[in-house]
Structures are given as structure tokens and as C-alpha cells.
Structure 1
């Protein structure tokens, strides 16, 4: 800051001082000139000066203006010169205006007092902030300029806002924010460094929370609201209600079955929804779309009475049955036990495929609980009603082996009817441990009907009954004590099974085997090896032949 002239300011100060001199000390011919001794004049001049200290904010008056500077009198021995750029509205300045300035130095090398309008404003702004605001308060401001890492914001003084705190999401265009009047939240006030950090993002978050809270308080279960599809997920869609997001679950989008929300909705789509539930503590809202339309279950009992035959599409297969869509919004369950009259089905996928069209009969309908029970086997009629006439005992039939179990085979006689062929009824003479020893799945076999019980949905079959019982002949062919020669068919822990004729086996028990003290059964005898044995047991009732190779008579020589 410098003087406008070498002596101008000093003369102005002396003139002001003379206004305070006693009237008798003035020259009556010239009131502006003093007649008091020079010593008294200096003393009076000194008394008229204000006490000014560095760092003080004082009031002054503009006494002169140039294009670049403003001359301010603060009642001190010299004036101060301030650049116009330190004033917020330099064009409005005029001589005589009162301003507050900051005293940087009471006297520089030219004898001028050094003043600053900018520092005065900053000091006053700082005092206003610390006296009236605290961390967490909302304050108005205007981003003034872009700096490294963020923006300097004018809130009365300059505060710093990091770039990451300028926008609600991510980093905003900082240049676009400069000059805008915005609201901020004070994050930090450092009294030691006299700096302040603010955030526009925190204000936006707080404002959004307030809007959300106000909105959620206004929501009522059952009311209709408009919203915008914000996001789609596998389990539903999030709908923006104008400040809070509600979940539209996939099950509440349509009365009919949909694979994914994107099948019927799109991001940005405007739609009306119904408020299903509001959790104000968790700020969660459940919405429904299908509730805007009548439920198809309202007239289900009148439309689908029991015994009605319907057509539908298989939409889902589960271990306990198949879900069939009768119409959009109405699905019925065909329980696994209602798929077939006699087929043993472990999973519905053995019989049905998703997307397949089927016929079924309505077994029960409960519109209140939205349940529809269906039967598929009833649609084709009950084959057991005519089974007694078609499958009388001793009737010879042909069937397809459908399933093999440890205890026998299920043979399909016709669609919907199966019979059970037990292991014991496969062969007269051979011990069958598993039907796979004789039968193959899918093969056609000749069988005879042993029993038919339509009330119990049971038919028993036999294979060995297709031929005469050979045991009467076997007792003649293999008499007690006779020596036979056969082939080892199985080595068990308790002995050997030996085939002594086609499909005729005898058991050579471990106690009847000729084994040395150190010999092991499975090392001495192998499947397929030939052995000589003596018949020691022939039980026609139990269908068993006992053999032994101990104390065998010597083989006859030719």
C-alpha cells in the first residue's frame, strides 16, 4: 500500500486535527491557520490520532478512488491504500463510504499504514463461522475456483471441498460447479490452521435421507403409487417411488409364472404399484404389481370343479410331483403318486418334461389357499377296472422289463399296469440273487399271471411256471450217494455253488469240502473250475441239493 502523493494525506490529517483545536488558538483573520505555539500543536496532533495495532480490524472512510486503488483514512497519521480487486463489488465504491479493514502494518518504509480488505473480510468471516456454526451444520456457499484436489468454496471465507465430496456418486464435473449457489455440510473446523473442510455430497445424502424418511412416513399399506423401475435382479425389481426404493418381488409382478423380471419390465419404465408392506425402522418397502389386477383364483372353484378334465403345461418338476399351469396365475400340482396307476416313478422327470402339454383331472380345488390338486393317471382311465378280466391267473402274457430291484423285476404289461416278478419265481432250480443275472432292463419277456388284485393294484408274475417243475425228475436223476461232476459257479464264504446240470445247482458247504489245514477256499477253487462231488442231500420240498467232496469213491477207470 502506498500514498497517493508526497504530502497530500498528511495535510488532510492536519486539517482534520485543526477542527478539534480550541477557538482561541485560531487566527481570527484565517480560521484554518493555527496561532498556537508549535509545541502545543504537535501535542494536540498526537492526541488526535487513534491507537492502532497490527492485526486489528478498524473502520475507515474512503477519501479517494483511482482505477486500481482505494485510499482509506482510518484516523491514523497516514492513510492506507487498498487494491480495488480486494472488494467484492468495486464498481459500487464511492468517496465517503465506510469500510472495515485489517491492519497488517502500522507503518511501512514510506510511512504508510498497510491495510487489507480481503484479510478483514476473512477475519470477520472466520469469527462469524466459529461463533455461529459447528461441525455437522449446513451452510450456504459458492464454489469460487478449482484447485488441486478439489474446490475452494466461498462461505463467507474460503473453505476447501475435496473433489470426492462434490457429488452424490463418484467425482462430479468440478468446473460445472464453479459459481453455483449450493448447500454444504461443515465436516471440519481447524481453529489452529484457520481452515474449514466442507462437503456437498454429505448434504445431498442428508437431504435424500430426509426426503426418504418423509416419504416412508407418508406411505400406507394398500395405496397405489407411481414409480420408476430402477434396477432388475433375479429375485425382483427395485422401484424408485420418488426418494425411496421399494422391492417388487418376482412373485408379485404377475399372477402368472415368469422366468425373470426382465421378461415383463425394463429399467426406466414408469408404472403403478401397490404398497404391500412398510418397515419404517429398516426403511424397507414391499410392492406389488399383480395386485392391481383381479386374482384368477377368485372364480377358480366355479371354473375348475372336481372331476373336470383340463389341459395344461408342465412348468416345474420337483421330487414330489409336477406343477402344471392351467392358465396364467393358476398352477396345479400333480403329485408323484397321481402320475401313473402302476408305474413306480422315483422322479417326475422319468415321465414328464418342462414345457410339455398334458391332460389331467381336477382332484381338489382350494381357492382361498390357492391350491389345485390334479391327477394325470385319472385322465386316461383306471386300467385296474378291467384288469380282473384281462389278467386272470395262469394267463400267459408278454411284458417289458421296466425296473430291476434286489428282490425282483417290474414288468410292464400295458400302459399303466405293471406286475412283479420275484427272484424266487424266475427259475425252478437256480438260486437267483439278483434279477440282472437273468434279465435286462427294456427286454421283452414271457411270463404267466400268478395273482391279480385290482383293489390293491397288485399283479404277481412268474417265469418258471411257464415250464413243468423238474424236481420230480431231478430226484430220480441225482440219487443220494451218487457221484456227479460239475462247474463252480460261485465261491462264497460258506462254500461253493456247483452247477451239476443245466440250471441245476447244488451247495457244497465249507464243512463238506476237502481242504488241507493251510489251504484257503478261494485259492483252491475258482469260478469255472471242474469238481467231483457226492450228493449228500436232496430236498424236493425246499428245492435244495447238498454236495460233498470228502471221502469220494475213486473215479472208475475205463
Structure 2
């Protein structure tokens, strides 16, 4: 068998014997050398690990002598630290091929190291054992950890909470538990998460056995949600609900805490079966509502900050945990407020009066207007009936106009108090929004907070003296058509004096529409047929002019520039009155 191997590698046994005899004369030495040489030859099989010696460095390669007839070369990169390579030092290498194209044997130190490392790992560890290694690089699905051989740490097994970027672990030493060893594929899968969970479970059981309601514990904020924060108490996460973070108003837990913050919390409740713990932060300080009545007695004036605005009012913080509501009705004595934002903005400092306290419901009613004198308590003294005021027309309605007497105090100028004699259909006929006018205070209702104003009362009532003296039944008067209705036309007979020319008094013939006979702006001569002082009405007639003169409109030419209906005279605006006379 030995001779066959020598023959295979072109080695002549006689040559070996002669060389040996020349070097040593002892038979024992000869046998020992031959045995070592034969052993070396026998191990030259592809895939076997050989012991070699570093002969020299050649460029980027290291020349290795393995006792074969030709040397092999290994790239320097296969050494962990090329700077520490020493000539004459022994190394283990893997025989990949007996001879390559250059006639050298093909060797690999890296593969030999892997095989030896794998053998050491298999001999030393089994599934379930704990190992420590350094993370070398990131690969698809996880990390490679070096513990003599590369082992695989899946991303899902790095931590209990999935890390954002697993690259942060490169270069770090990690301790893991072996989950699986595949000898066939030379693959090992490990888990760091498993050890963390085991450690947490151990701490959790210890924690559950010793914590009690009311204890103060230190913890670290691990997660924040809209409803609260999870605090790691050391093996067990407790929930700190948003309502238990502060006695004051909190919109989101992040206003109070941040992830990784270290906090002291109180144990509020423990469910050992479900392994749940409720925590509190505000409970570490006294509830400010306990002494609320002594600190903020009803009727006291205090200052606070507007922290929230709703459609029905504004919330004012008096101190942390104490907020009161200023209802929209308690914001102003006089202003008509549609929304609280017209009066205050978030962040404003305001002075308020405490109206009511409900300690059980933890509610305080506040007032802004109570800090000022109610102007309606002195309104009667300030504006007695008959007082002339000047104000601005703030708003118009169908029934009148609101006049701003002073800031927040409006008076109503009713449509019926705008003119003595003129029939007013809408306030806009007399005043316009924004106008500055003078008016008279007619009455003040302090309870209902109303002030009645009059415009016509600035002058004497023409019906008392002027109209009875100036107008008699049967008189012929001149007037301008100011308004047409379906029942007749209104004529202005003088400043503030108006008369009605009823449709039945337009003509001896039937008239369906007053506009068929007269137009707005026409100047007419009419006869006074009725005066009603109590009803404040003057009745006029156009057809009575016919009866008095005994003339007919038919005698006039249609081409004439004047218009006469059955003898009544109509003078168009801009015409000569003489030219409009009837012959």
C-alpha cells in the first residue's frame, strides 16, 4: 500500500533510502524518518487539513511548505493580521488541489481555520448553550456573529422590541442562546432575544412578588401612545394612563414624557394573573381640589390663563390641575357674543370672579363680566328718558335700527319712531348702516337690558299743530309721488308729511294698477278729502279735481306733453307748470 502511494506521487523508494543512509547511519533513525515521510505522503488528499510552514512572502501571497514536492501559496488576506506573519511559523491549511496551472499545490488557511473552528464549536457547545461573540457584519435577514466560526443572528431575534437599524450592533459583543446547530450545513442559529426574555421573565416574577399598591417605583419610558405611556419597571411594563400623568390638562403624553426618560411612579393597581400594573404620576402630589373652597372662595377675584376655547365658553387655568369655565354669557354685560374667540384667545391672562364650585365633579364656574360694574345698573341714571344721544347705526332689521350708544350698549330705534307723518316700510328708507345720527331716549328697561330710541321725537309732532292748521278738507295741494303700492300712491306734501292717494281716488274710471295713471316722481295737484289726526292719515283725491272743474281729460290731445286723467292735472318733473294747465 505504501509503495503504491509513493508510485502515485512519482517517488522512488530506493532514492529515499539512499538519501536517508547518507544523512543518518542508525537504522532506528532511518526507520523514524521513513515513517514520518510516509505519514506525510499519506495525508496529501484533497480536502484534508495539513500542517505547513511559512517559507517566505511573495508579493501579496505567502509561500507555504507542506512537505510535498512543490510548495503552495496563500493570499495574505486569509490571515487575520498580515503584519504578524512570521517566517518559519507553522500554520494549518486546507489542501484544495494537488497542483494548479502553475504547478503549485492549492491551499487555503481560511477554510482550514473554519473547519478547525467548527470542530471546536461542535465539541464545546450544544443547542441551548449560551455563547458570546462579536458582530462582524450585516447580511440579509440579520447579523453574522464571530465566535471562531460565523454564526447567524436573525433580525427578529436581536431584541424584544424590533430595532430600527440593526447595523448599530456591528462591532459589539453580544451574548446569545444557541437555537439550532446544523452539522451537515455547518450552520448555527442563535438568539439574543431569548436571553432577554428569560431575564425579563425572571425579573418579572421577582417584581410581582414584591410590589404593592401605593409603592413608589423607578422605571424607564419604553413606549408612548395616545392614551398613555408604558414604563419598564425592571422585567415588567406598567401602563401610565394619560389621565394619571398630571392633575392638569394634557393633550398628549409626549407633553410630559419622552422615550427613555427615567421616572418615579406610584403603583395604583396590580393584576398578578394578567401580569398588568397600573401606574400614576400625579398621585405623587396632593389633589389640588382637596382645598379648592379655601383657596378660591366664591366671590373672590383671581387671575388665570385661557387654555381652551369651546363654542359655549372658555376654560381658564387658575393653577396646575385647576381649570374653570367662563360661560359665554359671563363674558360681557353688554356685548352680543357669537363665539368666545371674539373676547379671548388661548394664552390670554384674564381676571375672573369665582361664581360656583362643585368639589365632587371638580368644576368651577367663573365670570369675566363680574369683574366690572354692570353698566345696566346705572343706565337709567346715565340716560334718563328725554336724553338726546349721538350714536352709530350698528345694524338694521325689518322692524328698526340698532344704535350703538356706547361700547356694548345698543338702543333700538323702532320703525314707528322714525317719522311722524311718513309711512316707513323699511328702516333703510330713513337711515343707513354706519350712519352717525342723533336720537332721543324714550325709555330704559334695566331688567330686559333695552333702551328705546326715537328719531321723530327730535322735532314737534306736526299732527299737533302744523297739519291741522295747514291742511283742511277740500283744499287743493301739490305733492310729489314717493311710493306706489297695489292700493294707491303716497305723496310727499311737505317735510315729513305724507298723504295717501287711494287707487279708488285716481280716476272716475276703474284703475287696476296705480302705475297706469301716475309714476314715482310725478308732481300732482290733488284735493284733500280726509284728515284723521288719531290715525295720522291724510286722504287725497285726484278724481275730485274733475268734479270741481267740470272738465274731461278727453278734450286734451294724446300728443300733448302733459298728462291729464279725467280733468285731473299731472305735472311731470321738469315740465313748465303753465304749459300743463287745462284750457
TM range (shorter): 0.5 to 0.7
1:303 counterpart residue number: 295
Report the equivalent of 2:442: 448
Check the 8 A contact 1:315/1:355 in 2, yes or no: yes
In the alignment, which residue of structure 1 is the partner of 2:494?
501
Instruction: Provide the TM-score with structure 1 as the length reference.
Output: 0.56
The one of 365, 368, 371 aligned to 1:373: 365
Q: How many Å separate the matches in 1 of 2:505 and 2:120?
A: 116
User: Do the aligned partners of 2:54 and 2:64 also contact (CA within 8 Å) in 1?
Assistant: yes
- The Cα RMSD (Å) is 7.3
Contact 1:401/1:412 (8 A) holds in 2: yes
1:312 touches 1:327 (CA, 8 Å); kept in 2?
no
Instruction: Using the TM superposition, give the Cα deviation of residue 432 of structure 1 relative to its aligned residue in structure 2, in angstroms.
Output: 3.6
For 1:8 and 1:398, locate their aligned partners in 2 and report how far apart those are by CA, in whole Å: 139
Q: Would you say the 8 A contact 1:236–1:248 is kept in 2?
A: yes
The equivalences for 1:276-295 within 5 A come to 292-295=284-287
Q: Does 1:330 align with 2:313?
A: no
TM-score normalised per structure 2: 0.55
Contact 1:401-1:409 at 8 Å conserved across structures: no
Rate the CA distance shift 1:288–1:479 in 2: closer, same or farther, 3 A: farther
Partners of 1:529 and 1:195 in 2: how far apart?
117
Residues paired across the two proteins, number? 494
Aligned position for 1:312 = 303
| Distance in 2 separating the partners of 1:546 and 1:140 | 117
Aligned counterparts, 1:444-523, within 5 A: 445-449=439-443, 452=445, 454=447, 456-458=448-450, 460-465=452-457, 467-468=460-461, 470=463, 474=467, 477=470, 484-489=477-482, 497-506=490-499
Given that 1:139 and 1:185 are in contact with CA atoms closer than 8 Å, whether structure 2 keeps it comes out as yes
Aligned to 2:34: none
Q: Which one of the candidate residues 387, 400, 404 is aligned to 1:397?
A: 387
- Corresponding residue to 1:424 among 393, 397, 416: 416
| Structure 1 residues 247-286: aligned runs within 5 Å | 255=248, 272=264
How far does residue 8 in structure 1 lie from its aligned partner after superposition?
A: 13
Offset, 1:310 = 1.0
Once the two structures are TM-superposed, the CA of residue 500 in structure 1 deviates from its matched residue by 2.6
Q: Distance in 1 between matches of 2:80 and 2:360?
A: 75
Contact 2:439 2:454 in 1 (8 A): no
Give 3-state SS (helix, strand or coil) of 1:298's partner. Answer: helix
Q: 1: CA distance between counterparts of 2:14 and 2:163?
A: 58
Kindly tell me: are residues 129 and 471 of structure 1, through their superposed partners in 2, closer, same or farther at Cα, counting changes over 3 Å?
Answer: farther
Give the whole-Å Cα distance in 2 for the aligned partners of 1:499 and 1:249: 75
* Shift in CA distance, 381/543, structure 1 to aligned 2, threshold 3 Å: same
Query: What is the rounded CA distance, in whole Å, between the counterparts of 1:236 and 1:326 in structure 2?
Result: 25
Match runs of 1:125-204 below 5 Å:
142=134, 154=146, 181-182=173-174
Cα distance in 2, alignment partners of residues 527 and 544 from structure 1 = 20
Distance between the aligned counterparts of 1:248 and 1:434, measured in 2? 62
Q: Superposition pairs for residues 431-442 of structure 1, below 5 Å?
A: 431-435=423-427, 437-438=429-430
Q: Secondary structure at the match of 1:369?
A: coil
For 1:24, the equivalent position in structure 2 comes to none
Query: Is the 8 Å Cα contact of residues 377 and 446 (structure 2) preserved in structure 1?
Result: no
CA distance in 2, matches of 1:52, 1:9: 14
**CA 1:111–1:500: 2 relative to 1, 3 Å:** closer
- Residue 553 (structure 2) aligns with: none
Is contact 1:412–1:419 with CA below 8 Å preserved after alignment? Answer: yes
| Alignment check: 8 A CA contact 2:242 2:250 kept | no
CA distance in structure 2 between the aligned counterparts of 1:527 and 1:124, rounded to whole angstroms = 119
Distance 1:195 1:471 in 2: 123
SS at 2:423 equivalent: coil
What's 2:356 paired with? 364
Aligned-partner SS, 2:413:
strand
Matched position secondary structure for 1:447: strand
* Cα pair distance change 1:32/1:463, threshold 3 Å: closer
Alignment of 1:212-251 (within 5 A): none
Task: Identify which of 385, 392, 400 aligns with 1:408.
Answer: 400
Q: Is the contact made by 2:391 and 2:405 (CA closer than 8 Å) also made in structure 1?
A: no
> Within the alignment, does 1:105 sit opposite 2:93 as a pair?
no
Q: Deviations over 1:36-83 (max 9, x none)?
A: xxxxxxxxx9999869764x346x566x6656665557xxx9797575
Please give the alpha-carbon distance, in whole angstroms, between the structure 2 residues aligned to 1:390 and 1:472: 33
- In the alignment, the residues of structure 2 paired with residue 452 and residue 96 of structure 1 have an alpha-carbon distance, to the nearest angstrom, of 116
Counterparts of 2:165 and 2:427 in 1: how far apart (Å)? Answer: 71
Cα distance in 2, alignment partners of residues 547 and 277 from structure 1: 93
- Per-residue CA distance 1:270-320 (angstroms, 9 max, x = gap): 765668999xxxxx99997655433432211233333x2314246266543
1:430 alignment partner, SS class? coil
> Does the residue aligned with 1:396 lie in a helix, a strand or coil?
coil
| Preserved contact between residue 528 and residue 540 of structure 2 (Cα < 8 Å) | yes
